[in-house]
């Protein structure tokens, strides 16, 4: 068993991802053992989603970040499968389009935020703008910022932007949870090999993933910096051991269900007048 604090970066300690296990399973021994609990968690989420929608006050933003082949798509597919599609939206962020590059970097994410009553999942997010953009120096190559804003402080500045952006969202009723799927370099290698060796997985292979793998250490450092700078109680980061896909799905479903339950949401209650009207309508229908 585990609780969400097991996966929070520990405040005050410098985050070193090489020291955080990628294959911890909290005593669970197998996929089969985890499956029942995942299903329970999905039911818990679905129950609260219904109330969330009825209330129309909070919105929920779930951010999934990871190195390539860490299992983002699988988590989204399995963990969200029991939710009501009407109240759930998934956005996958790719290389920005020319239109998106004509705006400030947060624009496209802001536009995609879930409405009140809804659960929004970001498959990649504005964190890419302090990760891939930083690794490949895309601010200069792609983002067309005026030169005077491109200097050594830009990453610090962006992390502050993100912190403030998330605090602002929180203050407007957004419940934010951020998951980093923590996979080992060795496990990534196995998964990329499987994409080459298994015909049904060939379509997933992207030679670009091999190039990104060359930058593993750099990504790790930038992840550490980003997580440290933006891990707040109003927008927590969870570092999820992801070498076993089933455990990542279990941990994420459990954390989301726990966090949603802790909001203690209740169906909207009708006032006395409205309740009286219900009985008038009931009589009308019965006399029909
Ligand atoms: P995924 O790997 O998420 O399954 P893709 O294979 O289509 O999906 O990859 C999406 C690509 O978009 C990734 O290589 C990622 O680095 C890139 N990307 C996402 N956001 C940005 C951004 N803001 N700037 C540049 N590249 C980005």
Per-residue pLDDT tens over the stretch 52-66: 999 999 999 999 999
**What is the distance in A from the centroid of ligand 1 to the CA of 220?**
16
Report how far residue 250's alpha carbon sits from residue 240's, in angstroms, rounded to the nearest whole number. Answer: 10
- Residue 70: closest CA among 202, 256, 249, 199: 249
Tokens of 20: 């955080």
Order of strands, edge to edge, in the sheet holding 174-182? 88-92, 119-123, 59-66, 174-182, 237-241
pLDDT band at 10 (very low <50, low <70, confident <90, very high): confident
Q: Is 158 in the pocket of ligand 1 (CB under 6 A)?
A: no
**What is the distance in A from the centroid of ligand 1 to the CA of 118?**
25
Q: What is the pLDDT of residues 240-276, one digit of tens each?
A: 999 999 999 999 999 999 999 999 999 999 999 999 9
Q: Is 129 in the pocket of ligand 1 (CB under 6 A)?
A: yes
Please give the angle made by the CA atoms of 278, 280 and 284, to the nearest 5 degrees.
115
Report how far residue 126's alpha carbon sits from residue 115's, in angstroms, rounded to the nearest whole number. Answer: 18
Where does residue 121 rank: exposed (0-12), middle (13-18), buried (19+ CB within 10 A)?
Answer: buried
* DSSP H/E element including 61: strand 59-66
| Residues of the chain above pLDDT 70, percent | 100
For ligand 1, atom 24, the nearest C-alpha belongs to 95
The mean per-residue pLDDT over the stretch 189-205 comes to 96
For ligand 1, atom 7, the nearest C-alpha belongs to 94
* pLDDT higher than threshold 90 for residue 1: no
Report how far residue 181's alpha carbon sits from residue 64's, in angstroms, rounded to the nearest whole number. Answer: 7
Beta bridge partners of 274: none
* pLDDT higher than threshold 80 for residue 175: yes
**What is the distance in A from the centroid of ligand 1 to the CA of 163?**
22
**What is the distance in A from the centroid of ligand 1 to the CA of 95?**
5
Say what the pLDDT of residue 76 is: 97
Tokens of 135: 């690794």
pTM of the entire predicted model: 0.96
Mean pLDDT across the chain = 95
Pocket test for ligand 1, best of 72, 124, 127 (most atoms within 8 A of CB): 124
Check: CB of residue 42 under 8 Å from CB of residue 79. yes
């Amino acid at each position: 068993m585990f609780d969400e604090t097991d996966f929070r970066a520990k405040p005050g300690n410098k985050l070193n991802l090489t020291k955080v296990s990628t294959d911890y399973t909290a005593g669970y021994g197998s996929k089969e053992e985890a499956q029942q609990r995942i299903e329970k968690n999905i039911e818990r989420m679905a129950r609260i989603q219904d109330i969330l929608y009825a209330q129309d006050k909070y919105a929920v933003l779930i951010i999934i970040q990871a190195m390539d082949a860490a299992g983002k798509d699988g988590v989204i597919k399995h963990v969200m499968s029991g939710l009501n599609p009407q109240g759930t939206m998934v956005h996958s962020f790719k290389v920005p389009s020319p239109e998106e590059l004509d705006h400030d970097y947060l624009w496209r994410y802001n536009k995609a935020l879930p409405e009140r009553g809804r659960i929004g999942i970001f498959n990649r997010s504005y964190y890419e703008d302090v990760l891939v953009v930083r690794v490949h120096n895309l601010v200069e190559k792609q983002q067309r910022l005026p030169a005077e804003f491109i200097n050594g402080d830009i990453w610090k500045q962006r992390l502050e932007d993100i912190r403030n952006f998330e605090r602002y969202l929180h203050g407007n009723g957004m419940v934010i949870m951020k998951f980093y799927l923590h996979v080992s370099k060795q496990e990534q290698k196995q998964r990329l090999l499987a994409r080459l060796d298994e015909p049904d997985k060939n379509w997933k292979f992207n030679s670009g993933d091999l190039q990104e793998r060359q930058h593993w250490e750099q990504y790790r450092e930038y992840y550490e910096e980003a997580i440290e700078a933006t891990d707040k109680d109003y927008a927590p980061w969870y570092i999820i051991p992801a070498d076993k896909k089933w455990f990542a799905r279990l941990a994420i479903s459990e954390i989301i269900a726990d966090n949603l339950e802790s909001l203690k949401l209740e169906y909207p209650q009708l006032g006395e007048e409205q309740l009286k009207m219900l009985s008038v309508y009931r009589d009308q229908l019965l006399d029909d």
